[in-house]
Amino acid sequence: MSNLILNRQRRATPALAAKRTGSNDLWFNGAGELNATDKSDAIVALAQLMAEKAGGNLVFADPNAVETNVMTAAQRNEVAIAAYYDHSTSKWAETGSTIGAILYETAQREGFMRRFLKQGDLTNGSIPRINVRFQNVNAIVATDPGVVAPMIVTQRYIYPPEYYVLGNIRVSERDIAQGASDILEDAYARAMENINVKEDSTVITMFDATVGMVNPLYLLAGGLTPSNLAAARTALLNWGLPASQMLIASDYWTDIAGNAASFGNLFDPVTRYEMVQTGFLGTMLGMAITTDGFRDPQQKVVAPNTMYLLSEPINLGAYTDRGPVKSTPQDVYADGIPGRGWFFNELLSTTVTNPRSIVKCIRS
């Protein structure tokens, strides 16, 4: 069943099989490495890749899924419709469980919350308790998806509230009767927006809430340059914190590509397909660069012209997670609605414990 969902957007060309813009060369060679002659060329190639993805011309599918025996949308629909109308077995529930498992796997691999925050220890019967390395600061905690609040830290530990991330996905008989193009692809995309995107957008809201607490908002006049990037990075270094991460909107890459010669001296690219797929592009000035430029437009969470410079997770904050995304099949015929679906949920806590570890930059 996983192949039915992981191999989405077959209308676009898989990046591993697509040719580079204006060339007969593939984007990636047979070993899964980006075809680029040097660092400057890698910068330009990554910019072109993001543009092609934004235009819907290619898709970053799981490498193991780019096979000749992938099901077509029509074949996936046939299987989905059979499970939809089969009330005598657990096929519909199994489909929802598969979607939930893939959501969790994708979040672990690509999610910003799990990449930038440290995972806190949590067991059944206990409540979240986060060790604070820097006391007498204002922390930020999430109380609901997208809802955050400040908390004054005076003790060694803080106890952030847990909140649910919920998704109600329904497939109606009308969708089937009217010939929905790909029922499972659409259900997976909506579940992704309800679960994974909410995780990451909540973390972005927390980052934004720290602006002005300690570090000011940095305006990058004239766009991103090596000099103003170094100046913004200094705000972290002045607190004695390492600058380890750059989270950028995709439009920043046009500045970098437009000045590839200068940035090429600072840039160490990551060219492996599996890394590029997650939005990890390489390192610059010792900071790992991540973007949501390879995500579907409705799944992007970083606002245009926005960049965040971050310290290491142990200095930044923590999250807790009570296990994989849970899926419960729903049959709403009894409510007078001809449809079935799934209720997805997970229980999280997220905390930014040190606002000194975040610098937000706006490109102007």
**Helices 196-209 and 183-194, axial angle in degrees (round to 10):** 30
For residues 94 and 102, what is the distance between their CA atoms, to the nearest angstrom? 12
Largest distance between two CA atoms of the chain: 65
pLDDT per residue as tens digits for the range 12-67? 788 888 888 778 889 999 889 999 999 999 999 999 999 988 888 888 876 554 44
Tell the burial category of 275 from Cβ atoms under 10 Å away from its Cβ (0-12, 13-18, 19+).
middle
115: enclosing H helix or E strand? helix 112-116
pLDDT per residue as tens digits for the range 211-245? 999 999 999 998 999 999 999 999 999 999 999 99
Structure confidence at residue 64 (pLDDT): 53
Residues 6+ apart with CB under 8 A from 24: none
pLDDT per residue as tens digits for the range 241-265? 999 999 999 999 999 999 998 998 8
Residue 6: alpha-carbon gap to chain centroid: 16
148: confidence class by pLDDT, cuts 50, 70, 90: very high
The beta-carbon contacts of 28-31 under 8 Å, at least 24 apart in sequence, are: 28/273
Q: Containing domain of residue 128, as a range?
A: 2-363
Average pLDDT over residues 318-340: 93
The DSSP bridge pattern shows strands 58-59 and 13-14 to be parallel
Residue whose C-alpha is closest to residue 147's, from 161, 167, 134, 126: 161
Provide the whole-model pTM.
Answer: 0.91
285: left (phi over 0), alpha (psi -120 to 50) or beta: left
For residues 207 and 201, what is the distance between their CA atoms, to the nearest angstrom? 10
DSSP class of residue 295? S
For residues 53 and 27, what is the distance between their CA atoms, to the nearest angstrom? 12
Question: Residue 188 carries which side chain, given as an amino acid letter?
Answer: Y
pLDDT per residue as tens digits for the range 63-91? 554 444 456 778 888 889 999 999 989 99
pLDDT per residue as tens digits for the range 187-213? 999 999 999 999 999 999 999 999 999
Structure confidence at residue 7 (pLDDT): 47
Tokens of 140: 């930020």
* Domain total of the chain: 1
SS3 31: coil
Structure confidence at residue 129 (pLDDT): 93
The pair phi, psi for residue 97, each rounded to 5°, is: -65, -35
Beta strands in the chain (DSSP E): 13-14, 58-59, 118-119, 130-131, 137-144, 147-153, 157-158, 163-172, 218-220, 245-248, 267-269, 280-284, 287-291, 306-310, 317-321, 326-331, 339-352, 358-363
Structure confidence at residue 8 (pLDDT): 47
Average pLDDT, the chain: 90
**Higher local confidence (pLDDT), 329 or 185:** 329
